Structure formats: C-alpha cells, structure tokens
Amino acid sequence: MKIQQLQMLNALSETGTLQGAADTLHRTQSAVSMALKKLEDEAGFPLFDREGYRLKLTAYGEQFLRQAREVLRQQQRLQSLTQQLREGAEPMLRIAYDHTCAPSSLFAAMRTVQARYPTTDLLLNGESQLRALRAVREGDADIALTPWLPVFRQHGDFETKLVRPFELLVVLAPALVREFGMPKQRRDLLDIPMLMPQNQDIGINLDQMIRMPGQQRIRANDSIAQRELLVAGMGWGIVPADIVGDELSRGDLVLIEIPDFINQVHLEIHIVRSAERIAGPAAQLIWNYFS
C-alpha cells in the first residue's frame, strides 16, 4: 500500500471520475485504474461499487477513505516538518488578508517577525471575496486574516484563532438621504438600489441573508469597489465597518440604523492556517501573537 495509491483514491472521491483523478494528479487514466485495482486487491475487500456508470465507494470503501485521508494529512505534515527542520526559519512568510478586514491588525505581529527573523521576507497580499481563505487551503498563503464562520471548515482542514468581531454596517451617501429621506424601516430601502459584492467565493450570500425582494442590485466584484459606489451615491449597502470607518468620520457616508435588520449576521475575524502543514518559526510567531 503506497501513498500514491491513497492520493489516487482521494482524488477519485473528490472528482467523481477516473479521468478527473488522473487529471488532478497528472497521471494517465489507465495508471490510476491499475493502481486502484491493486489497492483493492491489497485491502482484501471491495472498495468500489462498479455496477453503475461511475465508480462509487462501498460502505467499506468510505471507511477506508476516511482513514486514508488521515494518513495523507499526516504525510503532508511530516513533509512540512522535514522542510522546516532542514531549512530553519522561512525565507518568505506569505500573509493574505481579506479586503473586508483591516490589515493593521497584523502589523504588530509582523514587527515581531522583523525583529526576531530579519532574513525572512514578509509578503502581504490583499484578496477579495474570501479568496484569502482559499489561498491558505491551496498552499498559496501561510496565514490569512479573514471573516470566519464555522461552516467554512467544510472547505478545508483549517486551524483558526479569534482576532475580533466582524461588524457589518448599513450605510448610504448623504445625497440619497436628501433625496429619499433617512430610511427607518426595511421597506424604506426598496426604492433605492442595493450595492453588494458578487457572491462570495465560499459561504456568504448577503442576498439570501437579507431577502429584499423586487429591488435593483448593483454588484461589485469586491468590497473596495462597493465602497466607492456607495460614496458616489449609487445606492445603499451592507459593508464591513473596517472599510468605511474613515468615510463615516468625514461624513461621506451615513449610518442607517434599522432595528433587527442584520442582527442575525454573526461573523468574526480570525487568523487562519492549514492544519495539514507544520508552521515555520516566523508563521508560528505570528500565530502565537494572537492568544
């Protein structure tokens, strides 16, 4: 029984087809088929139900897959640990943050890395629509600062720490208040276009959360563009407090307070890392900063 066979089994489960597994692992379909047949022979019981058009895991196969995935996670962590022991502190620490979260939350922790590991370069990347979380999952970032919901765990094997609450505000430009009056109830917003990000990469859909029927939507590709449209008086929107604090202070935007409008939305800002990889010394230093 080899790691490559377990990787093929996992890829088949995720893609649903032999060809999909082959494409994922950059192997031929025949090589995947032969390896899985050998794995089944070595196991000594049926892993697959071959009666349908597609291969499906048997009940025994499902149990076997769960343990195989744990072996793959441990193998990835061992590889990561080996690299850290061999190389020492990371030459580069990749930090991603969602544009809806002020990156200043990370600056003090980053300064500790600069002081202790002066040869480690810090790469800070801003992402939109929760792509920072995907970057961690896919190994393109070591740590991310991102909005967090427990449901996000279904999209990857993550470890997280709470940084602070994630506050959503309902705002619009003063020009719209002069034109339509200050909204006091949900129905007062129906005549004003709603500005919102396009559907998030994983998990959040404000359209479903607030359920405002029959209203024009203007969808921006990220929260920064949404903020600029709000300031321009193109409509009202629900935005993270982190990205409109200055605009509210200057009077470029006005806060709308409607009782129980978005009280059902409970989000937090977390730092997130992969549970499948061993953190290097610099990444661990930032992780430990948030206790």
Tell how strand 168-172 and strand 236-240 pair up. Answer: antiparallel
pLDDT tens for each residue of 54-89: 778 889 989 999 999 889 888 887 887 777 667 677
Do 283 and 93 touch, CB atoms closer than 8 A? yes
Per-residue pLDDT of the chain (291 residues; tens, 9 = 90+): 889 999 999 998 888 888 888 898 999 989 988 888 898 889 898 888 877 667 788 899 899 999 998 898 888 878 877 776 676 778 899 999 998 898 999 999 999 999 988 888 999 999 887 889 999 999 999 999 999 988 888 878 899 999 999 888 889 999 999 999 998 888 888 889 888 776 554 445 565 556 665 467 888 877 788 899 999 999 998 888 888 999 999 999 999 988 877 655 568 999 999 998 888 899 999 999 998
CA atoms lying within 13 Å on the CB side of residue 253: 27
- Condensed to tens digits (0 to 9), the pLDDT of residues 214-247 reads 467 888 877 788 899 999 999 998 888 888 999 9
Q: What's the chain's Rg over C-alpha atoms?
A: 24
Whether residue 135 contacts residue 123, with contact meaning beta carbons closer than 8 Å, is answered with no
Could you give the domains of the chain?
3-86 (1.10.10.10), 89-166+268-289 (3.40.190.10), 168-264 (3.40.190.10)
The residue to which tokens 């994922």 are assigned: 24
Separation between Cα atoms, residue 104 and residue 167, nearest integer Å: 16
In the block, tokens 């600069």 appear at 114
pTM of the model: 0.64
